[in-house]
Structure 1
Amino acid sequence: MTSTAEQIEHFIATLASLGGSAGNQRLLEALAWPESTYQRIKQQLIETKRINPGRGRGGSVALAPAEDTVVHIEKFEGQPTQPKTKDLQPNQAPNPEIDYADALWKAADKLRGNMEPSDYKHVALGLIFLKYISDSFEARHAELLEEDPLAAEDKDEYIADNIFWVPKEARWSHLKANAKRPQIGTLVDDAMRAIEKDNESLKSVLPKEYARPALNKVMLGELIDLISGIALGEGENKSKDVLGRVYEYFLSQFAGSEGKRGGEFYTPRSVVRLLVEMLEPYQGRVYDPCCGSGGMFVQSEKFVREHGGRIGDIAIYGQESNYTTWRLAKMNLAVRRIDADISWNNEGSFHKDEFAAKRGNDGAPIKADFILANPPFNISDWGGERLKDDVRWKFGIPPAGNANYAWLQHIYHHLAPFGTAGVVLANGSMSSGQSGEGDIRKAMIEADTVDCMVALPGQLFYSTQIPACLWFLARDKSNGKAGKSHLRDRRGEVLFIDARNMGQLVDRTRRELTDDDALKIATTYHAWRGEQNAGNYQDIPGFCKSSTLEEIREHGHVLTPGRYVGAQTAEIDSEVFSEKMQRLSAEWRQWQKEATRLTTVIEANLKELGYGG
Structure 2
Amino acid sequence: MDQVEQQFFNDLEKKLWTSADKLRSNLDAAVYKHIALGLLFLKYVSDAFEERQRELDAHFRDPAHDYYMDPADFPEDYEGNVAAEREVRDYYTEKNVFWVPVEARWQTLMECAQLPPKAPLPWNKPGKDEPEEMRSVGWLIDNAMEAIERENAKLKNVLNKNFASTELESAKLADLIALFSDTNFHATEYKGQPLNLQAKDILGHIYEYFLGEFALAEGKKGGQYYTPKSIVSLIVNMLQPFKGRVYDPAMGSGGFFVQSEDFIEQHAGKSTKGGGNKASGQISVYGQESNPTTWKLAAMNMAIRGIDFNFGGGPGDTLQNDLHPDLRADYVMANPPFNMKEWWSEKLANDPRWLPGCTPPQGNANFAWLQHMLYHLAPTGSLALLLANGSMSSNSNGEGEIRKRLVEDDFVECMVALPGQLFTNTQIPACIWFLTRDKVNGFNLNKKKRDRRRQFLFIDARQMGYMKDRVLRDFTGQDIQKIADTFHAWQQGAGYEDVKGFCFSASLDEVRKQEHVLTPGRYVGAEDQTEDGDLFADKMARLTLQLADQFAESTKLQGEIKKNLAGLGYEL
Report the TM-score when normalising by structure 1: 0.75
Equivalent residues of 2:242, 2:268 under 8 A apart: no
Letter in 1 for 2:523: Y
SS at match of 1:371: strand
SS at match of 1:542: coil
SS at match of 2:504: strand
1:127 to 2:46 alignment: no
Instruction: Give 1:572 deviation, angstroms.
Output: 8.3
SS at match of 1:419: strand
Q: Specify every segment of 5 or more residues in structure 2 that has no aligned partner in the other structure, as ranges.
A: 61-73, 79-84, 116-134, 189-195, 273-281, 535-572
1:401 to 2:363 alignment: yes
Distance 1:175 1:425 in 2: 44
SS at match of 2:370: helix
C-alpha offsets along residues 100-129 of structure 1, whole Å, 9 cap, x if unaligned? Answer: 212211110011110000000000000000
Equivalent residues of 2:38, 2:159 under 8 A apart: yes
Distance 1:128 1:308 in 2: 29
1:427 to 2:389 alignment: yes
SS at match of 2:311: strand
C-alpha offsets along residues 189-236 of structure 1, whole Å, 9 cap, x if unaligned? Answer: 100000000000111111111111622111111100001122122699
Equivalent residues of 1:319, 1:344 under 8 A apart: no
Distance 1:296 1:94 in 2: 21
Equivalent residues of 1:288, 1:317 under 8 A apart: yes
Distance 1:298 1:310 in 2: 12
1:348 to 2:305 alignment: no
Distance 1:414 1:574 in 2: 48
Letter in 1 for 2:157: S
- C-alpha change, 1:329 and 1:521, in structure 2 (3 Å) is same
Distance 1:520 1:319 in 2: 31
Distance 2:216 2:222 in 1: 6
Instruction: Give 1:393 deviation, angstroms.
Output: 0.7
1:112 to 2:24 alignment: yes
Partner of 2:252: 292
C-alpha offsets along residues 167-188 of structure 1, whole Å, 9 cap, x if unaligned? Answer: 0011000111122345211111
Distance 2:533 2:250 in 1: 51
Distance 2:510 2:476 in 1: 32
Pairing of 1:49-128 with structure 2 (within 5 A): 95-128=7-40
Among 289, 299, 304, the residue aligned to 1:335 = 304
Distance 1:561 1:213 in 2: 49
Partner of 1:392: 353
- C-alpha change, 1:452 and 1:284, in structure 2 (3 Å) is same
Partner of 1:362: none
SS at match of 1:350: coil
Partner of 2:286: 317
Equivalent residues of 2:288, 2:315 under 8 A apart: no
Letter in 2 for 1:186: W
Letter in 2 for 1:570: Q
Letter in 2 for 1:132: Y
Equivalent residues of 1:417, 1:475 under 8 A apart: yes
Instruction: Give 1:508 deviation, angstroms.
Output: 1.1
Pairing of 1:171-190 with structure 2 (within 5 A): 171-181=105-115, 183-190=136-143
Among 180, 184, 205, the residue aligned to 2:158 = 205
Partner of 1:18: none
SS at match of 2:288: strand
Distance 1:310 1:483 in 2: 14
- C-alpha change, 1:573 and 1:399, in structure 2 (3 Å) is closer
SS at match of 2:319: helix
Instruction: Give 1:249 deviation, angstroms.
Output: 0.2
Distance 2:379 2:9 in 1: 40
1:196 to 2:165 alignment: no
SS at match of 2:186: coil
- C-alpha change, 1:161 and 1:553, in structure 2 (3 Å) is same
C-alpha offsets along residues 445-471 of structure 1, whole Å, 9 cap, x if unaligned? Answer: 110110000000111111111111000
Letter in 1 for 2:10: I
C-alpha offsets along residues 497-528 of structure 1, whole Å, 9 cap, x if unaligned? Answer: 00001111111111111111000000000000
Letter in 2 for 1:325: T
Distance 1:155 1:372 in 2: 36
Equivalent residues of 1:326, 1:344 under 8 A apart: no
1:140 to 2:140 alignment: no
Identical pairs, percent: 51
Distance 2:257 2:389 in 1: 24
Equivalent residues of 2:384, 2:432 under 8 A apart: yes
- C-alpha change, 1:120 and 1:529, in structure 2 (3 Å) is same
1:375 to 2:336 alignment: yes
Give the number of aligned pairs. Answer: 474
Among 482, 498, 505, the residue aligned to 2:460 = 498
SS at match of 1:320: coil
Instruction: Give 1:571 deviation, angstroms.
Output: 5.0
Among 487, 495, 505, the residue aligned to 1:536 = 495
Instruction: Give 1:99 deviation, angstroms.
Output: 2.9
Pairing of 1:430-445 with structure 2 (within 5 A): 430-445=392-407
- C-alpha change, 1:468 and 1:574, in structure 2 (3 Å) is closer
Partner of 1:267: 227
Partner of 2:132: none
C-alpha offsets along residues 314-359 of structure 1, whole Å, 9 cap, x if unaligned? Answer: 1111111111111000000110101111125554111221111xxx
SS at match of 1:497: strand
Partner of 2:480: 518
Pairing of 1:404-483 with structure 2 (within 5 A): 404-483=366-445
Instruction: Give 1:96 deviation, angstroms.
Output: 3.2
| RMSD, aligned α-carbons | 2.0
Distance 2:465 2:187 in 1: 36
SS at match of 1:382: coil
SS at match of 2:34: helix
Partner of 2:208: 248
1:218 to 2:180 alignment: no
Instruction: Give 1:237 deviation, angstroms.
Output: 6.3
Equivalent residues of 2:204, 2:305 under 8 A apart: yes
Equivalent residues of 1:128, 1:247 under 8 A apart: yes
Distance 1:94 1:320 in 2: 31
SS at match of 1:253: helix
- C-alpha change, 1:234 and 1:480, in structure 2 (3 Å) is same
Letter in 2 for 1:201: K
Equivalent residues of 2:331, 2:377 under 8 A apart: yes
1:547 to 2:516 alignment: no
Partner of 1:76: none
Distance 2:42 2:93 in 1: 17
Equivalent residues of 1:322, 1:344 under 8 A apart: no
- C-alpha change, 1:511 and 1:276, in structure 2 (3 Å) is same
Distance 2:186 2:100 in 1: 21
Equivalent residues of 1:384, 1:399 under 8 A apart: no
Partner of 1:557: 516
1:484 to 2:446 alignment: yes
Partner of 2:99: 165
Letter in 2 for 1:558: V
Equivalent residues of 1:385, 1:400 under 8 A apart: no
SS at match of 1:112: coil
Distance 2:367 2:532 in 1: 46
- Greater Cα shift, 268-277 or 236-245: 236-245
Equivalent residues of 2:288, 2:316 under 8 A apart: no
Equivalent residues of 2:295, 2:314 under 8 A apart: no
- Greater Cα shift, 234-243 or 459-468: 234-243
Instruction: Give 1:386 deviation, angstroms.
Output: 2.9
- C-alpha change, 1:501 and 1:384, in structure 2 (3 Å) is farther
